[in-house]
Structure 1
Amino acid sequence: MTRVGLRTLSRGSAAVSAWVSPARPIRPVGKFLATEEYSLRSYATTAPHQPVTSKETAVLQRIDAKRAEAFLGGGQKRIDTQHGKGKLTARERIDLLLDTDSFREYDAFVEHQCYDFDMNKQKITGDGVVTGYGTINGRLVYVFSQDFTAFGGSLSKTHAQKICKIMDQAMLVGAPVIGLNDSGGARIQEGVDSLGGYADIFQKNVLASGVVPQISLIMGPCAGGAVYSPALTDFTFMVRDTSYLFVTGPDVVKAVTNEEVTQEELGGAKAHTTKSGVAHLAFDNDVEALLKLREFVDFLPLSSQNEVPKRRTDDPSERADAALDTIVPVDSTKAYDIKKVISRIVDTNTFFEIMPDFAKNMVIGFARLDGRTVSIVANQPLVSSGVLDINASIKAARWVRFCDAFNIPLLTFVDVPGFLPGTSQEHGGIIRNGAKLLYAFAEATVPKITVITRKAYGGAYDVMSSKHLRGDLNYSWPTGEIAVMGAKGAVEIIFRNVKDKTQAEADYVAKFANPLPAAQRGFLDDIIVPSTTRSRIIRDLKMLKTKTLRNPAKKHGNIPL
């Protein structure tokens, strides 16, 4: 017996050890095995006492044969090729993603209806995509998985119809939609029908936005018009070295711009998780990606009409952490890691960071407090002092809007010296992009709790979920500094004609570089001891569970895009 995909096996989780043969998946999907033996469904085709006619037998045999064809996709040779690239097949991916035997497939017998270019002689049962529903940790999800072994996973009219069908049903019942993308793009032989299929999917993506969570996992090529569906979903994950996202490929880029670039450089996981911000996370192989996706989905509510899930925790809600009392350096110019602050406050080992390699001066992610999902937004003093810039603003704004759409409370940690100055930021649109984050926090109606750990200067203080943006509970640690700007800059303006500004700077620090002025004006609800932050927030979240706040009636707002 041979191992499947050396790269996958060498860098995946222990679950990969279950793969022992190219012809055998980890476990059967439903009651089938994708092998050349064409294993048949184990159900009684007729009542035990009822005689079966030869006609019925023939029909049942045809059905079983067609179903077995569907499970082989493009055939064993192409399955072996897929495995040779270190990739799982469409059905193997579903099998690993969903709970054992929970998948129920739709439209397994569907075939394309194209007759041009002799396509009527080239039909593969299922037409290159597997669709249906199942469960992840017992909770309902809908899934489609493109099959690269069948027509390269290319999108036809019927392929698109299968995807749209499960998206419609997901919206009706209120359950997340997960797309496992591995496609060569539009099926050229179908021409405009294929393009229409993409547009139909895009429309469903937009209609489902804010109704049910939508997640795209890119597990192969995704080029041209195909890229816009993942872009419209809430989260896009990628697999390193085997997945690509680009509007135009390297050949077209070279022809038009004379620029030579590889697929990986142009649209690989590294490019999109570190530079463009198109992808939220990247994983080493299919197995790791699917197992992490299971973990990720467990944080999400099923729909906008559902509460966040609650999970059992052994972490006491009243736990105090004395290390938090000294974690912020006395010298305000010294950095510290906000992720350590977050990890000490939330339930043990529950922080799940999103977009960790893009705009590192801003930290976002899910965590749990007393077992319930919360959203984290935090400035990172370790990177550029936690300053707000274009990318950080965009990253956090989209995150805040998602969490507000799905009733996930917002917990914000603030240590921000202001917005990044400079011509590149001004000309790049920091005003408009910074306003996106301001808009997102101001629009949000979910519970909002803010903790100022140190600096909160200038307009950035306002933007970072301040009391003025309908914050529910706004706290500061004793180390908080809430002011228009830092002492040095302020003194240079106020005392510009004074030669020795040392005493003036000390006076400014004494007066403004502390949280008391803001607390005296009611802009802070309390100044709290850092070690008590966890218990305080958990009690507040329980109190805010019944919060009801609605924005004025309107068609929709006009966020500064």
Structure 2
Amino acid sequence: MTIEKSLLEDLQKRRSERMLGGGEERIKKVHAKGALTARERFDLLFEEGTFQEWGMHVEHACHDFGMEKKTLPGDGVVTGVGQVNGRSVAGFAQDFTIGGGALGQRHAKKICDVMDYALNCGLPFVAINDSGGARIQEGVDALSGYGQVFYRNVALSGLVPQIAVIAGSCAGGAAYSPALMDFLIMTRDNASMFICGPQVIKAATGVETTMEEIGSAAANAGISGNVHFVADNDAHAIELVHELLSYLPANNLDNPPHMPAENINLEPDPVMDTLVPADAKGMMDMMPIIQRVVDDGKFLEVHQQFAPNLLVGFARVDGIVVGVIANQPKVKAGTLDIDASDKGARFIRFCNAFNIPLLTLVDVPGFLPGVQQEQGGIIRHGAKMLFAYCAATVPKITVIVRKAYGGSYLAMCSRDMGADVVFAWPTAEIAVMGADGAANVLYRREIEAAEDKSAKRAELVKEYHDQFASPYMAASRGMITDVIEPSTTRANVSLALRSTLMKSETRPPKKHGLIPL
């Protein structure tokens, strides 16, 4: 039996109508802003011809405030599954051309259906947010829809990677679904994300503010830390999604997409011997060290604008995917403060959930001192770093480059915190406090009694370092695996990663630990 031509023509007509979203005029308005439509964003995300749409023919009839009945094709959201670099990925893209992409009951059901599929099939999930918020006309049904989406965000958490793209408006309750996901990418010019806008803030508090101050990409990435990446435009945002996915497994039962080199490069890198300043107090940039350890200098930095005194991101070492955590002495001397502790702990816990080995590079003088830090809860926030490292069961490789003082030495994954291998450079100084400060405390009377106080202080500082703070002292107590030449760092890290990839660690059964939130 042959299908009637009219039926096929009708199907094609219906598909064509829905491909136009809210119509050509609304599409032109989106393009005029330099933005893309929902379907154009998916065209960039998925390999050509691989996207299978879910719920194209769902539609909803609603009334606007003038009680005029309107039909919303697709109910303002495109959902489905497609291929990204040969792997299946599920997702949704809200369509601002249809009812402003507002979320209603059927809109939410479409999202929930594809999230359930991602959960059951172990697929990464990508959400492209561009919505005017809850559909007011649907009242509590719209709020219920958000609740159902949030519930699934939590169900997916730790099971599959979740990536949110903020490509337009994301206001009020709508902001909480991205906030529950693992990584947020926000476009620089056409996007905003906030709970209460400037007018609401002024009405409630009397304070005048602007969208730039509270809801822009700059504010969310650099001040609040809500956003991990800022994209120049929609195409750049999708590029970042692709790059992120290239380091991530499909789910928590899968291994990261390692591409182990057949032959490990064991050649020394003499440049590494020149990267630590002769002056122990001199300013140092950790980024060149990271770039020389990882393959081809490629380091996908996460949270670049937030808490820059701590660097985190993804890379490969001889093809093995790693999550890198490193102090950045260029900023706040590399101290750990409230924001850096939150940033580090969150990244460590993500890597642990998805079987990504951790490489920690240490140059930390301590936790940042100050009244604001103490009153802001640096104890509680710093404890998150301790908790995250202790709870992590993935391979943990630590390299102490320079300073490692006090509690921050522990917070940067010492042997006592479960590091599998700890290397130290000869320039490392591991102690309760810096040699200068310790000499002033321990040898104050000797210094004061000396004729040449500066010379005596220098002598005692060296004595303290040699006796109590040198890497050989820590190594003599089994706290350092080996003291290595900086030039051999990449080779040593690569070998350690290969030997720990099959690591298996069992912890006592419990529902979950209680991280100090």
Residue by residue over 1:503-527, the C-alpha shift from the partner in whole angstroms, topping out at 9 and shown as x without a partner, is 4323212323420111000001111
Contact 2:349 2:392 in 1 (8 A): yes
Q: Structure 2 residue aligned with 1:546, among 496, 499, 502?
A: 502
More moved, 541-550 vs 216-225: 541-550
Residue by residue over 1:202-236, the C-alpha shift from the partner in whole angstroms, topping out at 9 and shown as x without a partner, is 00000100000000010001000000000000001
Counterpart Cα distance in 2 of 1:51 and 1:304: 46
Counterpart Cα distance in 2 of 1:261 and 1:319: 56
Letter in 2 for 1:143: G
Residue by residue over 1:81-129, the C-alpha shift from the partner in whole angstroms, topping out at 9 and shown as x without a partner, is 0000100000000001111221111110011265786878311221111
Establish whether residue 336 from structure 1 lines up as the match of residue 292 from structure 2. Answer: no
Shift of 1:319: 3.6
What residue number does 2:178 align with?
Answer: 230
Establish whether residue 527 from structure 1 lines up as the match of residue 483 from structure 2. Answer: yes
Establish whether residue 254 from structure 1 lines up as the match of residue 202 from structure 2. Answer: yes
Counterpart Cα distance in 1 of 2:332 and 2:262: 36
Establish whether residue 194 from structure 1 lines up as the match of residue 142 from structure 2. Answer: yes
More moved, 339-348 vs 253-262: 253-262
Counterpart Cα distance in 2 of 1:66 and 1:394: 49
Establish whether residue 177 from structure 1 lines up as the match of residue 103 from structure 2. Answer: no
- Partner of 2:295: helix, strand, or coil? coil
Contact 2:290 2:297 in 1 (8 A): no
Contact 2:63 2:70 in 1 (8 A): no
Shift of 1:423: 0.7
Letter in 2 for 1:517: M
Establish whether residue 508 from structure 1 lines up as the match of residue 464 from structure 2. Answer: yes
Establish whether residue 414 from structure 1 lines up as the match of residue 362 from structure 2. Answer: yes
Residue by residue over 1:320-341, the C-alpha shift from the partner in whole angstroms, topping out at 9 and shown as x without a partner, is 2111112111211002111100
- Partner of 1:123: helix, strand, or coil? strand
**TM-score, structure 1 length as denominator?**
0.88
- Partner of 2:348: helix, strand, or coil? helix
Q: Structure 2 residue aligned with 1:109, among 57, 65, 77?
A: 57
Establish whether residue 476 from structure 1 lines up as the match of residue 424 from structure 2. Answer: yes
Establish whether residue 162 from structure 1 lines up as the match of residue 110 from structure 2. Answer: yes
What residue number does 2:453 align with?
Answer: none
Shift of 1:487: 1.4
Letter in 2 for 1:370: D
Shift of 1:261: 2.1
Contact 1:241 1:264 in 2 (8 A): no
Letter in 2 for 1:234: D
Shift of 1:536: 1.3
Q: Structure 1 residue aligned with 2:254, among 300, 306, 319?
A: 306
Distance 1:479 1:119, change over 3 A: farther
What residue number does 1:442 align with?
Answer: 390
Establish whether residue 67 from structure 1 lines up as the match of residue 8 from structure 2. Answer: no
Counterpart Cα distance in 2 of 1:303 and 1:316: 28
Residue by residue over 1:473-512, the C-alpha shift from the partner in whole angstroms, topping out at 9 and shown as x without a partner, is 0110111100000012212222344414514323212323
What residue number does 1:384 align with?
Answer: 332
Residue by residue over 1:171-203, the C-alpha shift from the partner in whole angstroms, topping out at 9 and shown as x without a partner, is 111111000110000000000000000010000
Alignment of 1:238-387 (within 5 A): 238-311=186-259, 317-387=265-335
Counterpart Cα distance in 2 of 1:476 and 1:489: 22
- Partner of 1:439: helix, strand, or coil? helix
- Partner of 1:211: helix, strand, or coil? coil
Establish whether residue 86 from structure 1 lines up as the match of residue 34 from structure 2. Answer: yes
Shift of 1:250: 1.3
Contact 1:70 1:124 in 2 (8 A): no
Counterpart Cα distance in 1 of 2:263 and 2:60: 54
- Partner of 1:289: helix, strand, or coil? helix
Shift of 1:60: 3.5
Seq. identity, %: 50
- Partner of 2:311: helix, strand, or coil? strand
Shift of 1:51: 4.2
Paired residue total: 509
Alignment of 1:211-222 (within 5 A): 211-222=159-170
Letter in 1 for 2:249: P
**TM-score, structure 2 length as denominator?**
0.95
Q: Which runs of 5+ in 1 are unaligned?
A: 1-49
Shift of 1:163: 0.7
Shift of 1:291: 1.6
Distance 1:517 1:135, change over 3 A: same
Establish whether residue 460 from structure 1 lines up as the match of residue 414 from structure 2. Answer: no
Q: Which runs of 5+ in 2 are unaligned?
A: 451-455
Residue by residue over 1:287-319, the C-alpha shift from the partner in whole angstroms, topping out at 9 and shown as x without a partner, is 111122212211111100000102476996324
Counterpart Cα distance in 2 of 1:355 and 1:116: 40
Residue by residue over 1:434-457, the C-alpha shift from the partner in whole angstroms, topping out at 9 and shown as x without a partner, is 000100000000000000000000
Contact 2:320 2:497 in 1 (8 A): no
